[in-house]
Structure 1
Amino acid sequence: MYKEEHEVGVLGVPQNPAPVMATMIQIPTETSVPDHIVWSLFNSLFMNWFCLGFVAFAYSVKSRDRKMVGDIIGAQSYASTAKCLNVWALVLGILGTIGGIVLLVFLYITANHIASQIAKNNGGY
């Protein structure tokens, strides 16, 4: 995930017919490793089904620590795990929320139907 490497060529002005020497300097730019810490914090607070949001937050912090030390490979590994856990936490959170709403609607309809049956049997309330 390197952004790009810059190459700087330094060429001397030819003073004689001898071959020209070139010096190439490669300056690697800093790599960008997303640690997904904000997403993990959101999942920890709001979508914490099966504690996946908290585990993702822990991996995000580990990724940030590895990035600060300079271990890019370790940071990418922890960030990848945090991203996977965040995706699962978000999907399960959305499905759980939708399932909870459907369950509440079903229970409301069932309770309303039972109440109407009881009222019909007790003389028309």
Structure 2
Amino acid sequence: MLKDNKVDILEGPQSSAPMATTVINIQTETSVPDHIVWSLFNTIFMNWCCLGFVAFAYSVKSRDRKMVGDLIGAQTYASTAKCLNIWALVLGIILTIGFIVLLVIAYMTAYNIILRVMQNSRGHH
């Protein structure tokens, strides 16, 4: 059985009433920064105490709020993300420098111990 496929050609409206139009106002990009790039950097490189990851989560929430038009909510989440990013960066820099200093001190101590052991072993022979 074959079905007869018909294509109806659409014409203008049949009534004499004026055609209604819909106007959609698209707002330009709002200036609420979500700090998502900074949060991503802190998540990858400065994630001490998971502060970078938490900042990234707040940045995503801020971006979501901005997309639905809730600028106050977006600004609140962005402010929290900024604060967490600052703490993650400062803590990350301090702990990284502290770790490097401790590593250098440990290597220097081990080197001095090895030198003393070698000098003592030469002196006994």
Q: Displacement, 1:95?
A: 0.7
After superposition, the C-alpha distances for 1:25-81 in whole angstroms (9 at most, x for unaligned) are xxx976410000000000001100000000000000000000011111000000000
**Counterparts of 1:110 and 1:100, CA distance in 2:** 15
Larger radius of gyration: 2
Q: What's the TM-score once normalised by structure 1's chain length?
A: 0.74
**Counterparts of 1:113 and 1:65, CA distance in 2:** 57
Answering whether residue 76 of structure 2 is matched by residue 77 of structure 1, we say yes
Q: Displacement, 1:120?
A: 1.4
Which ranges of structure 2 fall in alignment gaps of 5 or more residues? 1-26
The structure that is strand-richer by fraction is: 1
Match of 1:6 in 2: none
- The CA RMSD measured in Å over matched residues stands at 1.7
**Counterparts of 1:74 and 1:109, CA distance in 2:** 52
Which ranges of structure 1 fall in alignment gaps of 5 or more residues? 1-27
Q: What's the TM-score once normalised by structure 2's chain length?
A: 0.74
**Counterparts of 2:65 and 2:30, CA distance in 1:** 13
Match of 1:53 in 2: 52
Q: Displacement, 1:121?
A: 1.3
Match of 2:108 in 1: 109
Amino acid at match of 2:94: L
Runs of 4+ in 1 over 3 A off after TM superposition: 28-31
Counting matched residue pairs gives: 98
Amino acid at match of 1:49: W
Match of 1:40 in 2: 39
